[in-house]
Amino acid sequence: MYLLVTGGAGFIGHHLLAALYAKYPGVQITCIDNFDPFYDVAIKEKNIQPFLDKPGFRLLRIDLGQTSISHLQSLIPEPIDAILHLAAKAGVRPSIENPASYQQANVVGSQNLLEFAVSKNIPHFVFASSSSVYGINDHFPWKEDEELIPISPYASTKLAGEHLGKTYSEQHNIRFIALRFFTVYGPGQRPDLAIHKFTKAIFNEEPLTVYGDGSTSRDYTYVGDTVNGILAALEYQGSNFEIINLGNHYSIPLLELIRAVEKAVGKKAELQYGPEQPGDVPKTYADISKAQQLLGYNPSTTLEVGLAHFVQWYREQRGE
């Protein structure tokens, strides 16, 4: 098996690489990552380090939004069985400040990769979408056929990626599976995300900022469960186009999350309150029945167990 994985140096991406090598002995992987400085590049360098000496592993440090199809063809001459496209410019709030850069990275980058798939006759394309495409929608839990009301440029770029996938699937007979991720957490989580920020604040005995009144809630999904869903999508051989939620089917209020992090760390948090942030939705909550039916998806990691894994990893990073 020969795979092209994008975003492999990121949080979910490096967990996916480890799972691919564990599940498919002898797999060959080309990884594309531009090491975007949205957060400390040293973290990504550390994430990718274990794979650099793997037989058949190739790392390409390129920006898909700025790369021609012919250049990709010259860099990757081998036949490819599937693309796992996780690379994206991340962050809801920063996308409001600089929407054009998100359009270039996430929409143009995805289109370039789809054009590359057409040129190479790559039959299978798994796309990392986002629960943010649902926007403000109170029809909980969210099914994949809900009305979509994205409220940030980031969310709009993810929805555009899904639409591109539908177009290329119909025109070029590519199997395109869009997976809508729901607030993924676990060891190695990005430092800009809530659980990481909360844990850091509690460890350092610093004030923890709650935006709004603390009533927002999220469907937190452990990274191992998300990766299992991606692996199942890689092996899916059904219809040529599907959009599938990969959540945990359980929405947890923010203050309840903070209490759970306090318990995992063993310290109390000092809370301070700030204004609601633009682009944030009040609640996410996934209906995962489609993922269960089509992919055999079964998220089994409770928040308590997942947070314990994260806090153990965090302590190790601190040298404790």
Four-residue CA torsion sign, 239, 240, 243, 248: positive
- Does residue 236 have an active-site annotation? no
Residue 241's φ and ψ, nearest 5 degrees, are -145, 125
CB-side exposure of 265: number of CA atoms within 13 Å? 21
Q: Which residue in the block uniquely carries the two structure tokens 């894994």?
A: 309
| Closest-CA residue to 109 (of 135, 95, 131, 127) | 127
Residue 193's φ and ψ, nearest 5 degrees, are -90, 155
DSSP state string for 232-245: HHHH--S-SEEEEE
| CB-based contact 66:40 (threshold 8 Å) | no
Q: Return d(Cα 223, Cα 217) in angstroms, integer.
A: 18
Helix axes 254-265, 194-203, angle to 10 degrees: 50
- Among 21, 102, 134, 154, the active-site one is 154
Q: Active-site residue numbers?
A: 154
